Copies of this chain bind each other. A is one copy, B any other.
Amino acid sequence: MKISELGEFGVIALLNAMIVEQRTGADNASASGFRLVVDTGDDTAAWKTAEATELFTTDTVVEGVHFTRNTTPWSDLGWKSLASNISDIAAMGGLPLYALVTLGLPPETEVEDIRELYQGMLRIANTYGVALVGGDMVRSPAMFITISLTGVHPGQPMLRSAARAGDEIAVTGLLGGSGGGLQLTLGNPELSGEAADYLQRCHRLPEPAVAQGRTLADHGVSAAIDVSDGLTDDLSKLSSASGVAARVYIDRLPVHPLLKQAFPENFLELALNGGEDYVLLFTAAPELMRSVLPLLPVEAAVIGEAVSGEPGQVRLVDPLGVESVADRAGWDHFG
């Protein structure tokens, strides 16, 4: 069977099972005082030391799959490739620390382009207090960028598996902007004006929610994930890991007026399935939610609730109160 037939999630499930089954238990980490608290299957692994919880994540972009040179300036590509990793650390409430950068490059790549790529990467690294400390460079027929990033958390990381029926579901910021920017870039790259500028900025220079993640974790929120693959998809992952279903009121989704203006027909579709917004999606019991929401940016909003039901199912409630089950519209790399 080919991996395109089994699908990305099938392959991942199979490999995660192999990894856990075949583990002998005699590992250096346990012997050295490290205790694994988030194992394979999450976007980020985590272990406790005597001092803190350490975090470890990696993310990759491949030319022609995740980006094209024509539509993504090199410095933005550098920014974005580190942003997705920082967001995985933010989702646990951690601080990002050290990054290793691997570049797969065709030999005819221009040195100047790689300099610009690094300019973008260094800009976001400095903005978020990340230190680039090395990496690897290899020849490759297709360009790719793999970044691995460590992080630290003073206490208990937020987990995607910690949502409970009865929790409210919220996001820390606006949805759909990055998806709108991508559509503009693909369909109408010459467009300018306030809406185009806003949306393209959302798409090209997303701002991972590290400060918001720290705030949530500090105030006792225990369930979170970042919105990288799209709200519906990431909410489904969180709900599935937590063994709950989710109900989302689509008229509560926070979207920017400029997104509505540019996409009056399908701004909700972009908010639900656009991806790469890198806000955090979290749940909390109503009382806790009331206390943390005022600490977040004004765009943060409660959008629904976790309910008993089929784990991972996301139900959408339209403004008339009609409920339907959302398609899982996320990204299958091999589908």
In the assembled complex, the CB of A282 is this many whole angstroms from the nearest CB of chain B, namely 21
In the assembled complex, the CB of A56 is this many whole angstroms from the nearest CB of chain B, namely 6
Complex-state Cα separation, A109 to B3, whole angstroms: 6
CB <8 Å contact, A102 and B56: no
CB <8 Å contact, B134 and A40: yes
Q: Does A107 contact B (CB under 8 A)?
A: yes
Please indicate which of the listed interface residues A27, A128, A130, A152 has the most CB atoms of chain B within 10 Å of its own CB. Answer: A27
Measured between beta carbons, the chain B residues less than 8 angstroms from A22 are 122, 126
Q: Does A70 contact B (CB under 8 A)?
A: no
In the assembled complex, the CB of A33 is this many whole angstroms from the nearest CB of chain B, namely 7
Q: Does A298 contact B (CB under 8 A)?
A: no
In the assembled complex, the CB of A141 is this many whole angstroms from the nearest CB of chain B, namely 5
Residue of B nearest to A132 (CB): B19
Q: Which of B34, B43, B140 contacts A97 (CB 8 A)?
A: B34
Q: Which of A111-119, A171-179, A246-254, A304-312 contacts B (4 or more CB under 8 A)?
A: A111-119
Q: Does A286 contact B (CB under 8 A)?
A: no
| Contacts A52-B32, A133-B36; A14 near B115 (Cβ below 8 A) | yes
Complex-state Cα separation, A40 to B43, whole angstroms: 25
* 8 A Cβ contacts from A1-50 to B: 1-4, 6, 8, 11-12, 14-15, 18-19, 22-24, 26-29, 31-34, 36, 38-45, 47, 49-50
Please indicate which of the listed interface residues A1, A33, A52, A135 has the most CB atoms of chain B within 10 Å of its own CB. Answer: A135
Q: Does A322 contact B (CB under 8 A)?
A: no
Q: Does A290 contact B (CB under 8 A)?
A: no
Q: Does A190 contact B (CB under 8 A)?
A: no
Q: Which of B97, B130, B146 contacts A146 (CB 8 A)?
A: B146
Copies in the complex: 2
User: What 1/0 flags go to A53-72 for Cβ under 8 Å of B?
Assistant: 01011111110111000000
Q: Does A303 contact B (CB under 8 A)?
A: no
Q: Does A142 contact B (CB under 8 A)?
A: yes
Q: Does A333 contact B (CB under 8 A)?
A: yes
Q: Does A96 contact B (CB under 8 A)?
A: yes
CB <8 Å contact, A97 and B45: no
In the assembled complex, the CB of A12 is this many whole angstroms from the nearest CB of chain B, namely 6
Measured between beta carbons, the chain B residues less than 8 angstroms from A28 are 95-97, 128-130, 152
CB <8 Å contact, B133 and A27: no
CB <8 Å contact, A56 and B19: no
User: What 1/0 flags go to A136-154 for Cβ under 8 Å of B?
Assistant: 1111111010101010100
Measured between beta carbons, the chain B residues less than 8 angstroms from A198 are none
A-B contact pairs, 5 of them (CB 8 A): A18-B119, A27-B97, A28-B95, A66-B138, A140-B142
Chain A residues with a Cβ under 8 A of chain B = 1-4, 6, 8, 11-12, 14-15, 18-19, 22-24, 26-29, 31-34, 36, 38-45, 47, 49-52, 54, 56-62, 64-66, 95-98, 100, 102, 104-105, 107-112, 114-115, 118-119, 122, 126, 128-142, 144, 146, 148, 150, 152, 333-334
